[in-house]
């Protein structure tokens, strides 16, 4: 038997599924299930009492769902690794889970051997994701960032939009100041604010973004 044994807590409102995962895990020498919960409320109490390496958390539970439970665990200071274990391959669910503090997202229809392998990876600190979900998640985060930037553009003042167009046109801060009859320091302040609202890091990114989104 290995010296290091990873400790797991299973959170799912289906007893048969918990039993199946427990039996699967306990065939392994380096993992053991130290607790189970059938709902979010019980799970939050349990994970604060037991020191687990990994919490395997169902997404669709009655009462508190998995996202609410996950968020509450993180707010309570639980630092165990938490992997969502679900039937949902919806991108919105994946994005919500990772934003709430998940360390992985696995589908319940995966092969038992692969599940054990991914659980083991998660226990040692790796981010785990069902293989078929990688592209979906990447696209979801990209689309989400695009939506946030568009809403950021709507939040720009008329002057900030004007300056963004000039940045896209290749004008320096000094040249923008001359065009608008304001001092260069004021232009810098406007640039700083518009970058923050758009979630961008530099005026080069702002110029590219403006051209790509036809804001120039």
Tokens 């040249």 map to which residue?
175
Domain containing 85: what range?
6-137
Q: Please tell me the distance from the alpha carbon of residue 120 to that of residue 128, in angstroms, as a whole number.
A: 10
SS3 128: strand
Residues 131 and 203 both lie in one domain: no
CATH number of the domain enclosing 89? 3.40.50.2300
Residues 11 and 77 both lie in one domain: yes
Residue 131 forms part of a structural domain:
yes
**pLDDT greater at residue 188 or residue 208:** 188
Residue 145 forms part of a structural domain:
no
What pTM value is reported for the model? 0.64
Residues 54 and 124 both lie in one domain: yes
Residue 183 backbone phi and psi in degrees, to 5:
-75, 155
Residue 149 forms part of a structural domain:
no
The number of CA neighbours under 13 Å toward the Cβ of 64 is 19
Give the relative orientation of helices 173-180 and 184-198 as an angle to the nearest 10 degrees. 110
- Arithmetic mean of pLDDT over the chain: 88
DSSP state of 101: T
Residues 88 and 178 both lie in one domain: no
CATH number of the domain enclosing 169? 1.10.10.10
Least confident among 104-108, 191-195, 204-208: 204-208
Residue 32 forms part of a structural domain:
yes
Residue 143 forms part of a structural domain:
no
Residue 144 forms part of a structural domain:
no
Look at the alpha carbons of 102, 139, 116, 61 in this order and tell me if their dihedral is positive or negative: positive
DSSP 76-99: TT--SEEEEEES---HHHHHHHHH
Residues 88 and 114 both lie in one domain: yes
- Band the pLDDT of 11: cuts 50, 70, 90: very high
Residues 119 and 185 both lie in one domain: no
Residue 136 backbone phi and psi in degrees, to 5:
-60, -45
Q: Give burial (CB, 10 Å; 0-12/13-18/19+) of 28.
A: middle
Residues 48 and 117 both lie in one domain: yes
Residue 27 forms part of a structural domain:
yes
Q: Work out how many domains the chain is built from and give that number.
A: 2
Name the domain boundary from 104, 137, 170.
Answer: 137
Residues 48 and 16 both lie in one domain: yes
> Tens digit of pLDDT for each residue in 125-144?
888 887 767 776 667 667 66
Residues 48 and 90 both lie in one domain: yes
Residue 148 forms part of a structural domain:
no
Residues 91 and 179 both lie in one domain: no
Average pLDDT over residues 22-29: 94
Q: Please tell me the distance from the alpha carbon of residue 16 to that of residue 125, in angstroms, as a whole number.
A: 28
Residues 186 and 98 both lie in one domain: no
């Amino acid at each position: 038997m290995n010296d290091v044994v990873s400790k797991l807590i299973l959170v799912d409102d289906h007893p048969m599924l918990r039993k199946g995962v427990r039996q699967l895990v306990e065939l392994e020498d380096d993992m053991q299930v130290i607790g189970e919960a059938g709902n979010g409320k019980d799970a939050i109490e349990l994970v604060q009492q037991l020191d687990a390496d990994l919490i395997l958390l169902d997404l669709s539970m009655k009462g508190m769902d998995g996202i609410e439970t996950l968020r509450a665990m993180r707010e309570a200071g639980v630092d165990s690794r938490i992997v969502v274990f679900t039937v949902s391959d919806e991108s919105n669910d994946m994005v919500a889970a990772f934003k709430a503090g998940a360390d992985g997202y696995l589908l319940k229809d995966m092969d038992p051997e692969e599940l054990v392998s991914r659980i083991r990876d998660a226990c040692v600190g790796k981010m785990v994701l069902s293989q078929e979900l990688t592209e979906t998640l990447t696209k979801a985060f990209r689309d989400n960032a695009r939506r946030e930037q568009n809403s950021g553009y709507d939040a720009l003042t008329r002057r900030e939009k004007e300056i963004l167009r000039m940045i896209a046109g290749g004008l320096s801060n000094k040249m923008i100041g001359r065009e608008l009859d304001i001092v260069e320091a004021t232009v810098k302040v406007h640039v700083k604010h518009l970058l923050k609202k758009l979630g961008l890091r530099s005026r080069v990114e702002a110029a590219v973004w403006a051209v790509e989104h036809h804001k120039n």
